[in-house]
């Protein structure tokens, strides 16, 4: 894996239980995970095994029932609600199976959306780059191979191109961690593999940590580690 400057994500004894009138379901049970800065981890597992639940908890979108979560040295569940939003926006980028681009906005406008939220949520932190947000967005769209499609509408782009815009959007605030939930689930195998390689290029260039839930077998050789979610816990392949 090479030299790392410490741990970015540390999860100890994580438990997640969903309760309903019919009883409770234990989805994650005493799960442990440690991800280094700049490390890439692919997570595989059958449908319903709790992969999305795990990503939602790491991204502080959902509360754990028990256990300790630390991301970039912070326990997001100890923060106040407005601090969680700012922390998430600054530290974490999300990519979902459905690209979730705004259809009425161009590619570059979509990439810029998280910078608007940053201005509102993150008092005084300011951009970490000397470039303007528009310059950053153009640079990222070039990085994902869409430098000439900045002003295209989502409807004019292919599925793979839309997902590349979504990845540029996830990177615009220069997060330390990218959480990706089946990002190639709607793409053909060849396009999915290209997206996998793009993730690894970004990981190397930006030293971002990647946690990618995928059914795409071609990701395993590209990523530092592949883990399987089984019976509420993560195991090596």
Ligand X SMILES: Nc1ncnc2c1ncn2[C@@H]1O[C@H](COP(=O)(O)OP(=O)(O)O)[C@@H](O)[C@H]1O
Please name which of 55, 59, 61 lies closest in space to residue 42, comparing C-alpha atoms.
55
Shortest Å distance, C-beta 96 to ligand X? 11
Of 55 and 208, nearer to Mg ion (C-beta) is: 55
Of 97 and 207, nearer to ligand X (C-beta) is: 97
Shortest Å distance, C-beta 58 to ligand X? 12
DSSP-derived 3-state class of residue 184: coil
**Going by C-beta distance under 8 Å and a sequence separation of 6 or more, which residues neighbour residue 204?**
none
Which of ligand X, Mg ion, none does residue 147 bind to, with CB < 5 to 8 Å depending on kind?
none
Bridge partner residues of 43 (DSSP): 213, 227
DSSP assigned state of 61: S
Please name which of 91, 94, 93 lies closest in space to residue 125, comparing C-alpha atoms.
91
Q: How many Å apart are CA 184 and CA 194, to the nearest integer?
A: 10
Closest-by-Cβ residue to Mg ion is 52
List contacts with ligand X (CB under 6 A): 18, 25, 27, 45, 47-53
Of 51 and 118, nearer to Mg ion (C-beta) is: 51
Rounded to the nearest 5°, which phi and psi values hold at 160?
A: -65, -40
CA-CA distances (angstroms) from residue 34 to 58, 203, 224? 11, 17, 13
Which of Mg ion, ligand X, none does residue 143 bind to, with CB < 5 to 8 Å depending on kind?
none
Shortest Å distance, C-beta 160 to Mg ion? 21
Of 47 and 236, nearer to ligand X (C-beta) is: 47
Shortest Å distance, C-beta 27 to ligand X? 4
Of 145 and 185, nearer to ligand X (C-beta) is: 185
List contacts with Mg ion (CB under 5 A): 51-52
Shortest Å distance, C-beta 52 to Mg ion? 3
């Amino acid at each position: 894996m090479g030299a790392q400057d410490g741990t970015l994500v540390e999860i100890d004894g994580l438990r997640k239980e969903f309760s309903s009138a019919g009883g409770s379901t234990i989805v994650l049970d005493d799960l442990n995970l440690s991800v280094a800065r700049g490390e890439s981890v692919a997570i595989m597992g059958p449908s319903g095994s709790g992969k999305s639940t795990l990503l939602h908890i790491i991204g502080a979108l959902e509360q754990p029932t028990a256990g300790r979560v630390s991301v970039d040295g912070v326990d997001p569940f100890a923060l106040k609600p407005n601090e969680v939003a700012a922390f998430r926006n600054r530290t974490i980028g999300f990519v979902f199976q459905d690209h979730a681009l705004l259809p009425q906005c161009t590619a570059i406008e979509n990439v810029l959306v998280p910078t608007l939220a940053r201005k509102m949520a993150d008092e005084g932190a300011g951009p970490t780059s000397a470039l303007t947000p528009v310059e950053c967005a153009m640079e990222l769209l070039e990085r994902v191979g869409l430098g000439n499609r900045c002003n295209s509408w989502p409807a004019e782009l292919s599925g793979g191109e839309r997902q590349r815009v979504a990845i540029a959007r996830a990177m615009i605030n220069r997060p330390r961690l990218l959480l990706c939930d089946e990002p190639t689930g709607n793409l053909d195998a060849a396009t999915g593999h290209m997206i996998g390689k793009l993730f690894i290029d970004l990981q190397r260039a930006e030293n971002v940590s990647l946690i990618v839930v995928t059914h795409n077998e071609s990701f395993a050789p590209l990523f530092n580690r592949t883990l399987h979610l089984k019976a509420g816990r993560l195991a090596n392949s």
